Structure 1
Amino acid sequence: MPEPSSTPARRVVVFGLGGTIAMTSTAGGGVVPALSADQLVDAVPGLADTGITVEVEDFRRVPGASLAFDDLAALAAAIQARLVAGADGVVITQGTDTIEETAYLLDLTHHRPEPVVVTGAMRNPTLAGADGPGNLLAAVQTAASPDTRELGAVVVFADEIHAAARVRKTHSTSGYTFVSANGGPLGYVVEGHARVLNHPTGRTTITTAAEPRPVEVALVTMVLGDTGTLLRAAADQCDGLVVAAFGVGHVPHRVVDTLTELAAAMPVVLASRTGAGSVLAHTYAFPGSESDLLGRGLISAGFLDPLKARILLHHLLSGGHDQADIRAAFAQAGGYTRPDQQTDHADTVMQTVQGATRA
């Protein structure tokens, strides 16, 4: 008989938050999140054969759309406690509606090397071809892999591994809804193993305030013929604003004065509504162009899409950071300042985790 392995089993903690992956039918029709995290894990074929020790925490049972910042703060603290206690990685199962936002918030606040893996399902367990068990198995295998350390939070879906800062939900029903338009997936789960093919050059993490303050950050998308009605409505209701602008960072000339006033009163971040690519800085020069708006005090989101930009701005404002801090954080997180160019001022705001480099 073969000698038993002296290598201890990898230990992964699964946090269940609800969502489609945990939904079952109701008597009146439709599905609701009702399955426990234990039930989800028990229903995964082949998980017991991986040799990975899986612990379970039934954390929430809500739709993804109902998750809030308080839920994520509590989750981040619970993750930290489990990792300090020796877990090799964690998996979060939740609704896909907000995965691209929750994963990025967890990434911003995760300073340790162990992987934090977020997954879910597009087809609930009552449907033929439910994708939850396969996604959960791949997520656990990714969380247990030594090769995914130092990547921060990632989203694992349809056997693809995506960086939290890049991933977006792009289809309302497809099982292949999650994509990373800027850079592609980090790797894939192949025959039960996480295969990481590329690493980010770095990622931005920001220390969480001991007592975060409640803030309101709005996201307003520019549309054809926009006259600024929604922007003006945000003036007295918000602590910060993200503008999802046309193309490389353009808005109608009619809203320029409104944005100028808003930028003088609160942080206003300029992002692109396109879903890929970066806001530019100095290519166009007409009123409402990117160079015009940045000159009026708006802050570039760089490569961050509007949803990620809102998460970053919310986290910074809730931590009490000022305009200078916010500009420094966006310059780095948006891809316009390399980690080795970080200023002393920026270093007081954030910590940067360098990505490993492979030939």
Structure 2
Amino acid sequence: MGVVLLALGGTISVAGSTQGARLTGAEITAAVPGLADLGIPLEVRDVRAVPSGSLTFAQILDVVDVASRAVAEGADGVVVTQGTDTLEETAFMVDLVWPHEAPFVLTGAMRQPAMAGADGPANVLAAVRVAAARDTHGAGALVVLNDEVHAARWVRKTHSTSPATFASPSAGPLGHVVEGRVRMLLAPPRHEPLPVGIDRERLQAARVALHVVTLDDDGTQLHGLEATHQGLVVAGFGVGHVPDVLAPRLGALAEHLPVVLTSRTGSGSVLRHTYSAPGSETDLRRRGLIDGGFLDPYKARVLLRLLLATGAGHGDIVEAFALRG
């Protein structure tokens, strides 16, 4: 059947200077030089025109449902075009629930179509090639921009405006598109997907806060969090440290809800038992915080919220982070 392209909104779909105007998927693909010459059957569908900053968990799961039906109907791969603001989070969410061997490729653009050097056409061309490539089957959700192929698990937006913004600081790209050929260098590990049929009401109720630790942080804004949220992700200093005065507050919260410890640095893992002072990773784990491993705060929040929405208990959450972190 070829590839199915699902168009959302974002910079790649901005139509000139008209306020709020959006290009359709057909208009986006029509502007891609060489796309029709690939010999890859391409079916284009418009899903919803919305900036990625306004996307919700439920909407992304709806897109996964549409993509799953396309694969069940014979599609060899799926491409989704969307805004880049939340691309690293939506890609990871898809990767957690995607049950198919067919690749799910996400792409977008940093420059609007009317701008000089617009990158959308090249990114769409590369994404379609990756979605149709034999070597990408079984790789889960992939992010393709700037002729690089990144695993959803590792990719991050690292610059506010650069077309080369997407990178995987802890792992590097899985592959590249070179002279029109998809060259996969690495294969990401795959785990059993989370249930895709998540109850939307339970998902809405699974509120997870993110607290970025800062200098002289006493955690005042965390007071009462256990009454309003079901989970918390902490983005700590460096390898997973917080001010000593904050540690007891986090420990008290961990008695009521899962609290996941991550690093705010953008790459690397939190440690487990190298430092032992109050507020260190050892101290926080002793107080009940869950080790987030290599997961950055944004992806840890995605995983924790999906786990809570599936009804996972504390032990299941600890196990899931040990496996995927």
TM-score, L = length of structure 1: 0.88
String of CA shifts for 1:207-245, please: whole Å, max 9, x gaps.
234524021111110000101022225332111000000
Structure 1 ranges of 4+ moved more than 4 A: none
Amino acid aligned to 1:172: S
Rounded Cα–Cα distance in structure 1 between residues aligned with 2:192 and 2:146: 26
Q: Is 2:27 aligned against 1:35?
A: no
In structure 2, the CA distance between the partners of 1:33 and 1:68, relative to structure 1 (3 Å rule), is farther
Amino acid aligned to 1:198: L
Q: Which runs of 5+ in 2 are unaligned?
A: none
CA contact (8 A) 1:25 1:32 kept: no
Rounded Cα–Cα distance in structure 1 between residues aligned with 2:324 and 2:192: 6
Counterpart position of 2:55: 67
Counterpart position of 1:257: 248
How do 1:222-233 residues align onto structure 2 when only pairs under 5 Å count?
222-233=213-224
Aligned residue pairs total 322
Rounded Cα–Cα distance in structure 1 between residues aligned with 2:45 and 2:244: 52
Counterpart position of 2:108: 120
Rounded Cα–Cα distance in structure 2 between residues aligned with 1:144 and 1:202: 19
3-state SS in 2 of match to 1:156: strand
CA contact (8 A) 2:198 2:309 kept: no
How do 1:334-345 residues align onto structure 2 when only pairs under 5 Å count?
334=325
Counterpart among 138, 152, 172 of residue 140 in structure 2 = 152
Give the C-alpha shift of residue 192 in structure 1. Answer: 1.4
Counterpart position of 1:79: 67
CA contact (8 A) 1:245 1:270 kept: yes
Rounded Cα–Cα distance in structure 1 between residues aligned with 2:220 and 2:198: 36
CA contact (8 A) 1:33 1:63 kept: no
Counterpart position of 1:13: 4
Counterpart among 269, 282, 303 of residue 278 in structure 1 = 269
3-state SS in 2 of match to 1:13: strand
In structure 2, the CA distance between the partners of 1:74 and 1:251, relative to structure 1 (3 Å rule), is same
Give the C-alpha shift of residue 281 in structure 1. Answer: 0.3
Q: Is 2:206 aligned against 1:218?
A: no
Give the C-alpha shift of residue 32 in structure 1. Answer: 3.7
Rounded Cα–Cα distance in structure 2 between residues aligned with 1:134 and 1:50: 13
Counterpart position of 1:343: none
3-state SS in 1 of match to 2:182: strand
Counterpart position of 2:96: 108
Counterpart among 258, 275, 282 of residue 291 in structure 1 = 282
Structure 1, 156-165 or 203-212: larger mean CA deviation = 203-212
Counterpart position of 1:46: 34
Amino acid aligned to 1:119: T
Rounded Cα–Cα distance in structure 1 between residues aligned with 2:133 and 2:214: 44
Rounded Cα–Cα distance in structure 1 between residues aligned with 2:21 and 2:239: 39
Q: Is 2:319 aligned against 1:328?
A: yes
CA contact (8 A) 1:19 1:33 kept: no
Counterpart among 142, 147, 152 of residue 130 in structure 2 = 142
Give the C-alpha shift of residue 69 in structure 1. Answer: 1.0
How do 1:158-237 residues align onto structure 2 when only pairs under 5 Å count?
158-203=146-191, 205-212=193-200, 213=202, 214=204, 215-237=206-228
Rounded Cα–Cα distance in structure 2 between residues aligned with 1:210 and 1:70: 9
Counterpart position of 1:340: none
String of CA shifts for 1:301-346, please: whole Å, max 9, x gaps.
1011001100000100011111011011000001xxxxxxxxxxxx
3-state SS in 2 of match to 1:251: coil
Rounded Cα–Cα distance in structure 1 between residues aligned with 2:69 and 2:213: 42
Q: Is 2:301 aligned against 1:318?
A: no
CA contact (8 A) 1:33 1:62 kept: no
String of CA shifts for 1:110-167, please: whole Å, max 9, x gaps.
0110000000000001101100000000000000001100100000000000000100
Counterpart position of 2:258: 267
Amino acid aligned to 2:111: R
Rounded Cα–Cα distance in structure 2 between residues aligned with 1:164 and 1:70: 18
TM-score, L = length of structure 2: 0.97
3-state SS in 2 of match to 1:90: strand
Amino acid aligned to 1:242: V
Rounded Cα–Cα distance in structure 2 between residues aligned with 1:321 and 1:18: 33
Rounded Cα–Cα distance in structure 2 between residues aligned with 1:33 and 1:331: 44
Q: Which runs of 5+ in 1 are unaligned?
A: 1-9, 335-359
Amino acid aligned to 2:257: M
CA contact (8 A) 1:208 1:319 kept: no
Counterpart among 281, 292, 299 of residue 301 in structure 1 = 292
CA contact (8 A) 1:220 1:230 kept: no
